[in-house]
A and B are shown apart, each in its own frame.
Chain A
Amino acid sequence: MRIKDIINFLKQPKIFVFAIIWMMMLVVLGTLAQKDMGLYAAQNRYFSAWVIWFWFIPMPGGRLTLIIILINLSFFFFKKSIWKIKKLGIVILHLGGILLLVGGGLTAMFSSEGNMVIEESAQSNHVEDYHFMELAIINTSASSFDEFTIFDQPLLKRNQVLAHANLNFEIEIINYLENCEPTKRNSPAGIQHKGMLKKFMLSELKPEKEDNWNRPGMIYKISNSGTNADGMYGIFLGQPISQTVSVNNKDYTIILRRKRTYLPFSIELLDFKKILHPGTDIPKSYSSDINLIENGAVRKILIQMNEPLRHKGYTFFQSSFIEGPNSETTVLAVVKNYGRLFPYISSIIMCIGLLFHLSQKLPDLFRKSKEKIAV
């Protein structure tokens, strides 16, 4: 009896109507907010959030609203009255809608995007995330390989202690700064300050509107090494000289960098081409001649604007470039999206549903119009 009540409540079309209206409002609010707070922040606040706080009033965020819509659409199938051939079009239409939302969920949960930057005649096998950072501690002591211990962004927060069996020391994060700048010290540093902190401080800055304009930084303490490597260090994104420490005859390099995803293949940039409009300096198109290197096999491919490379679930778009004095560097936007095909498939299913529904309703409509004419 109770379950029946729940089902009756959840399958109410009212829920869908209110949720879709609220979603439309969120789209408007998010679009307007994007101008002031930037795309990434607006996306997080309005669309990726479970709850949005309007002052002290909690309201459902985009993610929660879409889940409510998904549940409501799913419970539509509990209606006994829909399991008729007459309603088949509507059933197909709802299935298409559910598939669209499931695809969106897969994209939200598992998709990733970033940059691959390759200089001419160089190779790369990793993608750098646009937003997430990682602290890489690289043991460079072995002659043939480097051992990486990576701490992901969720661990990079104040008072967090980072430790791992690979490391002979612990790192305690004193402060993690979302945006910072190195500034010269006016007074001598304390004896506990090591590395760049001897001459510089990291000053916290207000986060930028666009997330990728920020320069994150971190003040951290190395302890329990049993050597004079113990002390306070500073690090920031793009630090030109990496911090190195030596503990028990092992050399470690510590880098704060954008989160890297290694690919099961490499890309070598053969040539970057910029074609100008005739007689002008205005670029008409950009393209990258690349070698896709996988298991020793080399395949030559051209990536150009609107013609990305799709390989093993990754899509490589020609995004930007850097012109150097001797060579050029291509910047490829790399996207991995498990839900990529869902919008296409669900749109086709919804079209079929609508056509089916229309074909069933057309005879009735013709009959009614004939009756009207007869009257």
Chain B
Amino acid sequence: MLIKLIFSILILVFLQSCGQDNHIRTYQLAKTKAPVNKPRVETPEKNSTGFSWTKPGSWIASSGSSMRLASFDVPFSGGMGDLSVIQLGGTGGSIEANVNRWRRQLNLDSQSLFEIEKEMIDYKGGLGDYKIIRIINEELDSAFLCAILPAGNQTLFVKLSASPKGIREIETDFISFCSSLIISI
């Protein structure tokens, strides 16, 4: 009797799970009002790189090098920062290798992956989840603000080079820029 009961329950559970969803749904929703457009800093830029972004009006496109997808001169109260966008295939090397390369450029000792991940902050943008890290050498009065953005089978590296004060001033615009990056068609 008990066995019959158990098997009946199991069959009911299976039947319930089979019939719960036929995978096609229909519904109606009231038309959403067009969002009120807040004044944005700039409209997204389309270009030949395969990516679009929205950058603050104060940033000035610069020539950079052939390695770079884009370069900007980024003014702040104490001078001018340099922002580069580089695209590499795959993951472009591990997080540990890339961050420690940047740290060496600032004469800082390498860190373990655990220490690096503690300092990384997660954000979500047009390309999905990405990470940002601040690397600061107060003695040299130099700092980097770096973002690693996975984009399908490629990775974008956005690096801002400025003074520690400049990094703090530009950080919000930097995050907005990174979050605005999307694949353009």
Contact = CB atoms under 8 A, between A and B. Distances in A.
B183 A181 contact: yes
A205 B151 CA distance: 11
A7 to B, nearest CB: 7
Interface residues of A, number: 55
A283 B28 CA distance: 41
Given A144-B30, A241-B185, A327-B38, A320 B123 contact: yes
A36 interface: no
A152 B28 contact: no
Interface in A203-252: 205-206, 208, 212-213, 215, 238-241
What is the size category of the interface that chain B forms with chain A?
35 or more
Q: Give the secondary structure class of A's interface.
A: mixed
Contacts of A38: none
B31 A281 contact: no
B26 A145 contact: no
Contact of A155 (B2, B24, B134, B185): B24
A323 interface: yes
A122 B35 contact: yes
A148 B28 contact: yes
A109 B176 CA distance: 39
B168 A281 contact: yes
B19 to A, nearest CB: 13
A146 interface: yes
Interface string B62-79: 000000000000000000
B25 A240 contact: no
B129 A213 contact: yes
A326 B37 CA distance: 11
Nearest to B127: A238
Given A241-B185, A283-B121, A146 B28 contact: yes
B31 A146 contact: yes
Contacts of B34: none
Given A181-B152, A213-B150, A331-B124, 16 more contacts: A109-B17, A122-B35, A144-B30, A145-B28, A145-B30, A145-B31, A149-B26, A150-B27, A152-B25, A155-B24, A164-B26, A262-B27, A320-B123, A323-B176, A325-B54, A325-B172
